[in-house]
Copies of this chain bind each other. A is one copy, B any other.
Amino acid sequence: MSFLNIWKRYLRNMTHVRLIVSYYIFAVTVSVLLLSLPIAHKPGIDPSFIDTLFTAVSAVSVTGLTVVSTADTFSTQGIFILAFVLQFGGIGVMTLGTFVWLIVGKKIGLKERSLIMLDQNQLSLSGAVQLIKQIIILILLIEFIGGLVLGTYFLTYFETWQEAYLNGFFLSISATTNGGFDLTGASMIPYANDYFIQFIVILLIALGAIGFPVLIELKKFLASERGNYRFSLFAKLTTLTFLALIVLGTIFIAIFENNLFYKGKEWHQVFFYSLFQSATTRSGGLATMDISLLSDPTLLLLCALMFIGASPSSVGGGIRTTTFALNLLFVYHFAKGNKTIKIFKREIHEDDIRKSVAVTITAFLICFISVLTLSITENFSLIEILFEVCSAFGTTGLSMGITPELSTIGKSLIIALMFIGRIGVFFLLLLIGSKEKEANYHYPKERVIIG
């Protein structure tokens, strides 16, 4: 019996979800240990356990919320460890996740995920391994090119080439994995007027957050004869939603901050500030400005965008773009009295609607209870708390600046939210739902009044 067969049998005895959660717990444990090493810190600095745990979860979940300044706390070795952890976090769920789903393929509604990615063809084990390789190569390639471009460009910013490329590659990894960590101590604010860096970073964030299935379809499309490749419904829906959120976000930020933060600014400044801050809510987490300077309407908008989050099977969190789109489609067609939901000449499956609304309602409950709890334990305004909660749930990592001042209970709650945001509410529901068999009897149906 080969090693792969033993592994396969072991996996079959665990539910997918538990395996993924186990992976994350393992990754967090290793990260805590690595980040606790004395060589990881600058001389004389020794973060508390909760702060190290927070950093580890923030890195594994590629959120980017920080209770300590990365540049001031971690040594160069520490920064390498952090970049390594971001890689594991970012690539983690797709590779391991996809791997498990492809091999085990149990009937818990996840089978379709692999089917979609692979054009309705059943996949052999070697095919799965092949796909994982593709994912890893793709992300490393994107990061490498990004790091090279940014590092070379940074030669004008930094005194030594070592510094330039360390910053370039770290920024590339932080952007592509949507990690959102920074070495500047002030996110992307030092590059607020450098549109080239911003353009590259936005591109990297989008490549990480748009979801691997989409990237793979895109690769197939480019490899195929022109017009010979049909994108899946999923790819169309998620990409359209993804782009629509960025465009609408940009427009509304520009409108809301007109005469406020944008007072006296040039049109190109308004455009890039709006575009970057909109794009970063997909789940990048880097920012070109001090978020706490924004007005309440903009902050509320960003909260909503972070809550929606990134595309499924990506490096991002939140309820996911498809979930949001299906919610809107559902409500629209419900109002119309339509029984079926048609889009892009396809019909949406009823079960996917059920999933989407269950995920959304649960996410609302989780975020509401979190905000309520933090309003008891912390001494911040409602908007600061709401923003922090949405940022953690969306694994975005933007903050109005309260993260380092959170109480231990507050930090623990944010840790839990980053974790939930990363594995996704759907998996959370599968995790907490027991596996009892459904009773085989039926009661008479009875209607109730809703409206």
**Alpha-carbon separation in the docked complex, A148 to B316 (Å):** 62
Given contacts A451-B312, A451-B424, contact A296 B382 (CB under 8 A): yes
- With an 8 A cutoff between CB atoms, is A413 at the interface? no
Given contacts A301-B372, A334-B354, contact A451 B433 (CB under 8 A): no
* Chain A interface, DSSP helix/strand/loop, else mixed: helix
How far does the Cβ of A432 sit from chain B's closest Cβ, in whole Å?
6
**Alpha-carbon separation in the docked complex, A346 to B446 (Å):** 6
- With an 8 A cutoff between CB atoms, is A233 at the interface? yes
Which chain B residue has the least Cβ–Cβ distance from A335?
B433
Which chain B residue has the least Cβ–Cβ distance from A339?
B438
| Cβ contact within 8 Å between A322 and B352 | no
| Cβ contact within 8 Å between A233 and B348 | no
Which chain B residue has the least Cβ–Cβ distance from A438?
B338
**Alpha-carbon separation in the docked complex, A313 to B433 (Å):** 34
- With an 8 A cutoff between CB atoms, is A209 at the interface? no
Question: With a CB–CB cut-off of 8 A, which chain B residues contact A412?
Answer: none
| Cβ contact within 8 Å between A375 and B297 | yes
Taken residue by residue from 270 to 297, chain A's Cβ proximity to chain B (1 for < 8 Å, 0 otherwise) reads as 0000000000000000000000000111
A interface residue numbers (CB < 8 A to B): 108, 112-113, 115-116, 211, 213, 232-234, 237-238, 256, 295-297, 300-301, 304, 312-313, 320, 322-323, 326-327, 330-331, 334-340, 342, 345-349, 351-352, 354-362, 364-365, 368, 371-372, 375-376, 381-383, 386, 424-427, 429-430, 432-436, 438-439, 442-451
